Chain A
Amino acid sequence: MAVARSMRRTSPITILLAAILAFGFICFVISPSSPATPEPATSQQRQENAAEHPLSPPTKPFFKSQAIRPDGHKAAPPVVHYDLNALTSTSHSAANGERLLILTPLARFYTEYWDNLEKLSYPHDLISLGFIAPKTADGNAAVAKLEKAIAKTQSGPIDNRFASISILRQDFEPPLKSQDEKVRHSMSAQKARRESMSRARNSLVFTTLGPATSWVLWLDSDVVETPRTLIQDLTGYDQPVVVPNCFQRFYDKSKRKWDVRPYDFNSWIDSQTAQNMAETMGPDEILLEGYAEMPTYRTLMAYLPDMKNLDTRKMVALDGVGGTALMVKADVHRDGAMFPAFPFFHLVETEGFAKMAKRLGYEVIGVPDYFVYHYNE
């Protein structure tokens, strides 16, 4: 009798409620406990990191509303202290909360590039982005697409949002209107193109590098595939300048399958031949890599990996680097290492950068068995 009574009191609703509760608890128990990467910052933490005033490093977001002084005038910008002695760049970048700046000279906008960027597993609140685009029709189109992608990401889930994004427009004309693959790579056009590229890179890094930035990652706008842990991996080598191997996926018609091939040939170890060539050159001539007219016999990192026996821990000391993907400790740039827009020891742009970093006493390291992939045009 008593049992029946209690049964009668238990309405289906109570049972349903209990079921939902139970489901909730199960979800709670099953859901993966704290992932390997540190907890993403809450909105509060993000706000604490923000700058008070719009006049602030571009690597920081700032509050939209501004303080007003009691006398009605806008409050003057605050005095901000930055202790760069406390700034670290270590192999435990994510755990130490080290801030990173991803810099991209924007030639064209590829959705794959942005998607890949969004998927990076490094805490996004530690990542600032910087773009520079020429003031041409191509540049306008790329920036328009970029802004659309940014608007979507920066109003989406908070954990996906980047700390801050700067978009710069170049103050000089690019030497070539054409971004066509063949024209772009012709040897005569290379010098002018790379000098203009150097100026773009320098403009970007020296105006966006904030006082809190520990690392700078150079990532070209046509790098469309990287491991999700790219940042953790590259900072993990704990080297002043680290460059992975940039390959390209392509469809091999003879074998009828997708394959990879080397793309970036600017990462190399110098050769005696190249040095002899440099000695006979005039002060304004430059050495270029990857051209049959100019055989340098340098050891190219692109040909170093043994595809059957890959070891991502393998490091080689380099003399020149490519810029498709390049991890640099911010201190190297702060010391003055830049991308020479003039022949610097007969080298320009990223190769000249490697030379300058070496002259400043830094090591330049390549990781031949770690890959990023270039867009296939």
Chain B
Amino acid sequence: MNRHVLEKGHSAYPIGSAFKISPNRFQPRSQPALRYRRHLFQRLCLLGGISLILLLLIFPSWRAAVLPTLSFGLLASPNDLHLQTVRYYDLSEVQGTEKGWERGERVLMCTPLRDASSHLPMFFSHLRNLTYPHELIDLAFLVSDSRDDTLSMLSHMLEDIQNDPNPKMPFGEISVIQKDFGQKVQQDVESRHGFEAQANRRKLMAQARNWLLSATLRPTHSWVYWRDADVETAPFTIIEDLMRHNKDVTVPNVWRPLPDWLGGEQPYDLNSWQESETALALADTLDEDAVIVEGYAEYATWRPHLAYLRDPYGDPDMEMELDGIGGVSILAKARVFRAGVHFPAFSFEKHAETEGFGKMARRMKFSVVGLPHYTIWHLYEPSVDDLRHMEEMEQERLAREKEEQERAGSKESTQPQTPGTEDAMDSEKLQGSAKGPAAHPAKDEPVKGDSSEAEGAAIMDTVKE
């Protein structure tokens, strides 16, 4: 039957031959030649493999080319480093708008620090309280020429904040930059505000700010917020408040609280001002490298200062055009910095650092405004004179108390203490407070009120580089 089918050439499956191999039939062994060929084949494969491994050992650069093909992509090839190396950014998407928090605009917050460990706890409480979405804020710190434990303290506090169980607490990218500029100028209040030291100090500060910014500004940032660590009181919403004005550079008014005997409060930041004709004329007479520093009797500029325009009950949204600005708290669009505006560490139109920054921003046609009635409060650090005065007052008070006690002791039997004595004490205190600031010469007081402007004796000491 089989034969019949095959002869016809129809079937490929001869029915009877399905079980051709049966144990009781003799099966001839495969041909030795075939076996030999198989061995040869195996050996060739082995050989090829060994030689390939050898070659890979010899030319490591081949590995990248050969291995992925051999592993058929099943193995995680060492070719893929699991690294993202290419980044694409469209800067027109990070222009900065008035409602940045709704559009997820990133803010770079820059803080220069030097021997600031005493201010850090206060600064971090401000940080934690900021209402701008934390994950949109990148923090950048520059620790320079510090002799205290600013750096280690900062690291600990940053670690804590990043590992906070509250998922809304951690911030974005955090960079701590260490760089010493060989600060020769002492940082204590007294010398910090001395006129002679100012120009060079400002140039070093400018350098520090530029280093911090250039190392941490990313193409993702829409805004840059500069904030000093020694701000004592500021609204939690400060970033949003300044942002709402949608100006290229915005600064609030900076004052500081004072003890009662010094008048209770005082304008602190005198670097925010509008240009005046007098100052422009003065600038023309100065040497190319001279730096005008505002707030000192040496240069009478008659400029309108942001600080003096404050009305505690004024509209906090009021704006004022500025030419020079102070650095305590600046919100600027990142595009200002991208355009090249920075803190000149040289004399730019006779100004340096933040004042020069304001000037340069104006030169490049960016808007620079200050908010005269929106105030933040700088920490009050008593000057040496203040401390001496306070000590004197304390001693006076103790002496008086002792006297009182003695008097009270002697008169105890005759008459009880009258309220009049306390009144007398108060009036004495008031006298002291009136005397307090007036007793100091203008130069010793770090930041002067109107007096610095009023004293018009312009000493044209050009401070050279």
Contacts and interface: CB of A to CB of B under 8 A. Distances in A.
B120 interface: no
Interface in A141-176: 147, 150, 154-159, 161-171
B363 A342 contact: yes
B4 interface: no
A76 B214 CA distance: 23
A105 to B, nearest CB: 13
A199 interface: yes
Contact of A84 (B61, B83, B177, B218): B177
Interface of A: 13, 16-17, 20-21, 24, 27-28, 31, 43, 46-47, 50, 53-58, 61-65, 71, 73, 76-85, 135, 147, 150, 154-159, 161-171, 198-199, 202-203, 205-211, 333-336, 338-342, 356, 359-361
Given A61-B84, A199-B339, 20 more contacts: A21-B54, A24-B54, A47-B82, A54-B84, A61-B83, A62-B83, A63-B84, A65-B82, A73-B167, A80-B174, A84-B179, A158-B64, A162-B85, A164-B86, A166-B219, A334-B214, A336-B206, A336-B346, A341-B339, A342-B364
Nearest to B220: A55
B223 interface: no
Given A169-B91, A341-B339, A206 B162 contact: no
Contacts of A20: 47, 50-51, 54
B216 A211 contact: yes
Main secondary structure of the interface of B (DSSP, over half): mixed
B78 interface: yes
B92 A341 contact: no
A158 B79 contact: yes
Interface string B148-166: 0000000100110011010
Nearest to A210: B215
A209 B61 contact: no
14 contacts: A55-B220, A61-B81, A63-B83, A77-B172, A78-B174, A84-B178, A84-B179, A164-B87, A166-B88, A167-B89, A335-B211, A336-B345, A338-B340, A339-B340
A85 B338 contact: no
Interface string B340-351: 101111110000
A45 to B, nearest CB: 10
A309 B219 CA distance: 46
A122 B339 CA distance: 31
B57 to A, nearest CB: 8
B170 A76 contact: yes
Interface of B: 40, 43-44, 47, 50-51, 54-55, 58-59, 61, 64-65, 78-79, 81-92, 94-95, 138, 155, 158-159, 162-163, 165, 167, 170-180, 206-207, 210-211, 213-221, 335, 337-340, 342-347, 363-364, 465
Given A55-B172, A79-B159, A338-B340, A209 B87 contact: no
Contacts of A27: 58
Contacts, number: 212
A27 B64 CA distance: 19
* 7 closest cross-chain pairs (CB), A and B: A76-B170, A202-B340, A55-B173, A171-B91, A338-B340, A84-B179, A211-B215
Contacts of B163: 76
B215 A84 contact: yes
